[in-house]
Amino acid sequence: MHNATIKSLSEELAARKVSGVELARYFLNRIKVLNDKYNCFITLDEEASLTQARAADGIRAAGGGQPLTGIPLAQKDIFCAKGWLTTCGSRMLSNFVSPYDAHVVERLNGAGAVNLGKTNMDEFAMGSSSETSYYGPVRNPWNVDTVPGGSSGGSAAAVAARLVPGATGTDTGGSIRQPAALSGVCGLKPTYGVVSRYGMIAFASSLDQGGPLARSAEDLALLLNVMAGFDARDSTSLEREREDYARALGAPLKGTKIGLPKEFSAAGAAPGVVKAVEAAIAEYRRLGCETVEVSLPNMKLAVPVYYVLAPAEASSNLARYDGVRYGYRAPDHTDLTDLYEKTRAQGFGDEVKRRILIGTYVLSHGYYDAYYIQAQKVRRLIARDFADAFKRCDVILGATSPTTAFRLGEKMHDPVQMYLNDIYTIPANLAGLPAMSIPCGFDEKGLPVGLQLIGDYFAEARMLGIAHQYQLVTDWHTRAPQGID
């Protein structure tokens, strides 16, 4: 049952071959047995999950139900869920029980999905390896001595280990796609504004975007159909007509133009990654696609631009954690200033402190124009590069990450090397474009390689169709880590 996709589980629920309660209990038992090995989950609430499952079964029994009714899912612990501990992987929020649901959680609950728990993550989504969590690092099911990617590593690892058939994640600079690639699953970052950020704990507000992780492109479409939608509580939410993101899954690929950025090949991906991506490109050509070379000349500036803008926004967003209103409060303080200083010193981890300091610096008097304003100008140039590229192609394709999963602790003391791991994913966030990662092979160490597809604005359905057609003729997305039975 744990190897079944969301689509197949939904069909079994509709046919009454299995109940939502049976599914919830089955996956909860797997989590209890395997979570100590992978550290995917921070919080479980079995009774709350089973209550949702019983309600879903009642809806099905009455002749109702949607595709996700009764489907067990996991929520990244950055999404507020009413009555659930919501920590964002930080000591700062280690005692915070949310009084309300995030918009994404509301929509999934409304569709009858069953929340099995909150997944581990890099603290406040700051990291590329899921090692900065206050609750300890997440381990990659393909090799427990390696990282699963970050910051949505708990969600990606949970899907890879077959602890859940699908999960939510967030993507600020690649934090859905990069862990999807390193963990051998599928992940999608929608166009900025398609999924509401209400109730999603903020890191960098102009970059953050929620999205799904699952085993196949078809499953991603089912999840996005529910997660996407206008929300008046989020000023950046886009008011658009609802669409069916599964509508293009059967569309043939003949004549589809795939753009291959020359800058991707110049960025120095590992040989095993290059080999797998080249094989995927060859497969797309056999499916009738045309390939054209495109250029993203400002891509080389994406990482420095991101690490000016994201910390700047983080330093502003994280100012609310002061020990006064909610969350962790340092004991033994002498006055208000001492309370602020001790709370933030004790409540935040090293990576969060590093980014707050960088962000405060670039926003300070005398440096705002030199760094922040300049970075915003280059961000516009990066978006323009993509606009020019999409005049020549339908989708841009390349590696998701320059390497496969690296060993735990390998890059923790070299922040620059850690930041460069997001070189292929960051540009889409800066431009606000939709992008996704799907498995496309393995390297010489047997670790999964991710293939990234970047589309023009609101091209999610087209991208999902292109990915689905590839998955119909390959089986990379069906492979499970050794020992997962």
Q: pLDDT tens-digit profile of 417-435?
A: 888 889 999 999 999 999 9
User: What CA dihedral angle connects 326, 322, 130 and 81, to 10 degrees?
Assistant: 20
Q: What percentage of the chain exceeds 70 in pLDDT?
A: 99
- The pTM (predicted TM-score) of the whole model is 0.97
pLDDT tens digits along 389-399: 999 999 999 99
Among residues 170, 1, 10, 164, the alpha carbon closest in space to that of 77 is found at 170
pLDDT tens digits along 339-378: 999 999 999 999 999 999 999 999 999 899 999 999 999 9
Across all residues in the chain, what is the average pLDDT? 97
Q: Which domains does the chain have, with CATH numbers?
A: 6-254+459-471 (3.90.1300.10)
Q: SS3 for 442?
A: strand
pLDDT at residue 485, rounded to an integer: 67
CA distances from 29 to 21, 26, 33, 120, 482 (A): 12, 5, 6, 18, 19
pLDDT tens digits along 317-338: 999 999 998 899 999 999 999 9
Is 267's pLDDT higher than 70? Answer: no
pLDDT tens digits along 471-482: 999 999 999 998
Among residues 182, 188, 118, the alpha carbon closest in space to that of 149 is found at 182
Q: Is the peptide bond before 94 cis (omega within 30 degrees of 0)?
A: no
pLDDT at residue 189, rounded to an integer: 98
What residues are annotated to the active site? 76, 151, 175
Q: Residues 364-381, buried b or exposed e (16+ Cβ, 10 A)?
A: eeeeeeebbeebeebbee
pLDDT at residue 105, rounded to an integer: 98
Q: SS3 for 179?
A: helix
pLDDT at residue 331, rounded to an integer: 93
pLDDT tens digits along 189-217: 999 999 999 999 999 999 999 999 999 99
What's the token pair of residue 328?
Answer: 């962790």
pLDDT at residue 468, rounded to an integer: 98
| Alpha-carbon gap, residue 429 to 315, rounded angstroms | 19
pLDDT at residue 286, rounded to an integer: 98
Q: Tokens 């649901």 identify what position?
A: 101
pLDDT at residue 417, rounded to an integer: 85
| Alpha-carbon gap, residue 102 to 96, rounded angstroms | 14
Q: What percentage of the chain exceeds 90 in pLDDT?
A: 95
pLDDT tens digits along 125-161: 999 999 999 999 999 999 999 999 999 999 999 999 9
